[in-house]
Amino acid sequence: MKLILEGYPYPSGALDGVLKGFELLENKAGQVALDYVGYCFSQEIRDCVFFLPKVLLDEKDRVLGKYRPEALIDADSDQIAKEDKDFLYRFSLWIYRTVKEFRRLNPESSVTYEKSFSRLDSSKRSVSNTLLDIVLSLLRFHQENRNWVMFTLRNMHSGHGKINWHRTITKQQPIFQNGSPIYLNPTVRRKQINYDEELFVIFFSILRYIKVEYGFSVGIDANYDLITGKEFTHWLKHYGTVRLQKIKHRYFSDRARLLWQFCHDFFALSESIHSAQQNTDYLMVKDFNIVFEAMIDELLSDKQVPAGLKEQADGKIVDHIYPYESLVSPEDIYYIGDSKYYKIGHQVKGGSRYKQYTYARNVIQYNLDLLLDTSSGTSALRYRDELTEGYNITPNFFISAKLDDTLDYRADNLIHRKDEDRMSHHFQNRLFDRDTLLLSHYDINFLFVLALYAGANDLKKAAFKENVRQKFRKEILQMLVGHYDFYTLKVEERADFTARVVQNFKLLNGKIFCPDTGRQEAILALEKGSQDAKADILRQGFIIEPRSILKSVS
């Protein structure tokens, strides 16, 4: 197995023996970099080549913190630790499954490149699969049906080596010693391959070939004399399909017939590879950032949002947007996200931040246009409070990939990068002003995203979507609490709350927002340490009580 890192500048000549047939363009420094992620099988080198995403690279261009990409070109090298080989092998397969799922969900995408060997299946129908598709089917069957295979083999061998006394007594003359008969050559059941075992011998022979030839990690459970060497080469060229067709009638159970089909597919494809003029098959994508964006969008956003929100009027396209519970009111508000596909630890640049602020301004204006256009008949989310003229807070965030330190695929490990929190504003101490915009940044475990996206399990996706939306809301609220003190603003009993707010509009502008339309109280947000502002509001006869905006967060 060969491994190439996306975008990494390899020295001139380092890839010549690996990527025969590819057009390798050198830069001025004589380096070669390939912007692909996915899989390719090369007939010329008789091996699988995986193009892995640059998210594996740290700031020092090391993989797993210790390997330069040049050292991983030959993934079977003894210089790579076994546990690292196991990880890279598994990671490569997840990448392939991810690209395949992206292809399924986005069949019209222009960033996907696919070419597979054509062959005939057992029903003489023309089908197309990459070699890796067939290999993965065999490996998956081996993993999921291990107990069934061993149980079947145990039953086949039960009684082997036991003495058949009936045949021994009727066919042999004993000798007597001390009055007891002794049979020198008792008849026993011979331990030989049963015809029913032939399919398992073929199956394990294929697994051994996959392990030896392509470096895939697979254990061989049975102790058989397997088909190897020149004999197996003969099977690959033609004999495999012929022999499997002859024994097809022996198998009736669903699992045995499925195993037969996978074995037949493997030899049929191998025969096609040997006879075809085509010498490669591949499934790759260029610009993997588009795939990463699609992965996060599938796991986070709503599939259907009103026209004009994702594709905005000024030509900008929002990566992720979805309505969810507001930070300070019971209504929904739009959450706006942007995927950042970087190497590990990369910082967001200034231009990306300004673009993200523009996304938020466009979403706010979109809803205000609906609010003002009473003839549209379309309801808008309540971004502006008519009494206070305060604006609801628009959650806005970046999300980027990181490699989990424990290389765990099961936990999302969503981390808030607090050092990259930003706020854009025109006035100090006006959280509820239209031009006060927040921006936060989160890292998510790339391995978790891979497994969840490629697994195509809608129930798990839905559970994660609700969970991660709660996490984003909680983290943004905690960010606000770190910068602002929140209060409930009221007036004394029988006083006119609306009139008091109108009279003190300039004092309160941008500092308060009514969480509902009852208008008997408002949320007051003051920057920490704003004692003078608080005293000015108290002098106008308002009652100020501490308020916890985190009480709704578990």
Dmax (CA) of the chain: 125
User: With contact defined as beta carbons under 8 Å apart, do 448 and 438 qualify?
Assistant: no
Predicted local confidence at residue 397, as pLDDT: 94
| Residues recorded for the chain | 554
- What gap in Å lies between CA 209 and CA 228, rounded to an integer? 8
Three-state SS string over 429-452 comes to CCCCCCCCEEEEEEEEEHHHHHHH
- CB distance 224 to 201 below 8 Å: yes
Rg (alpha carbons) of the chain, rounded to whole number: 33
pLDDT at 527: 94
Evaluate if residue 143 carries a pLDDT over 90: no
**How is 109-139 classified by DSSP, letter by letter?**
-TTEEEE-EEEE-TTS-EEEE-HHHHHHHHH
- DSSP letter (8 states) at residue 525: E
pLDDT of residue 129: 66
56-96 residue pLDDT tens:
998 889 999 899 999 999 888 888 998 998 899 889 989 99
* Look-up of token digits 């076994």: 82
Q: In whole angstroms, give the CA distance from residue 447 to residue 407.
A: 7
Ranges 129-138, 441-450, 467-476: which has the least confidence: 129-138
CB 466 within 8 A of CB 554: no
User: Which CB contacts under 8 angstroms, 24+ apart, belong to 61-68?
Assistant: 61/8, 63/5
What domains lie within the chain, and their CATH numbers? Answer: 2-109 (no CATH), 119-275 (no CATH), 289-482 (no CATH), 485-546 (3.30.70)
Tens of pLDDT, residues 30-52: 888 888 999 888 777 778 889 99
CA distance 201 to 338: 52
Average pLDDT rounded to a whole number, residues 453-463: 91
Give the pLDDT confidence score for residue 191 in this predicted structure: 47
Distance separating alpha carbons of residues 476 and 468, to the nearest angstrom: 12
Mapping DSSP to helix (H, G, I), strand (E, B) and coil, where does residue 50 land?
strand
Using CA atoms, how far apart are residues 499 and 185, in angstroms rounded to an integer? 113
Residue 447 reports pLDDT greater than 90: yes
- Please state, for a pLDDT cut of 90, what percent of the chain lies above it: 43
Across the range 193-222, mean pLDDT stands at 78
Other CB atoms within a 10 A radius of the CB of residue 208 amount to 17
User: Over the range 53-90, which residues count as b (16 or more CB within 10 Å of their CB) and which as e?
Assistant: bbbbbbeeeebbeebebeebbbbeeeebeeebbebbbe
> Do β-strands 542-546 and 484-491 pair in parallel, antiparallel, or remain unpaired?
antiparallel
Question: What stretches of 186-265 adopt beta strand conformation (E)?
Answer: none
pLDDT confidence of 459, banded at 50, 70, 90?
Answer: very high
- pLDDT at res. 198: 87
> Hey, which bits of 260-380 come out as E strands?
280-286, 320-325, 332-340
CA–CA distance, 390 with 215 (Å, rounded to integer): 62
The stretch 473-502 carries a mean pLDDT of 92
Q: Give the integer Cα–Cα distance in Å for 145 and 147.
A: 6
The pLDDT of residue 302: 86
For the residues 450-474, what does the mean pLDDT come to? 92
User: For 549, which DSSP code?
Assistant: T
53: nearest Cα among 343, 253, 273, 248: 343
Q: What value does the mean pLDDT take over residues 531-552?
A: 90
Beta bridge mates, 282: 40, 115
Q: What does DSSP assign to residue 237? A: I
The residue among 241, 152, 161, 240 whose CA lies nearest residue 196 is 152
Mean pLDDT taken over the chain = 85
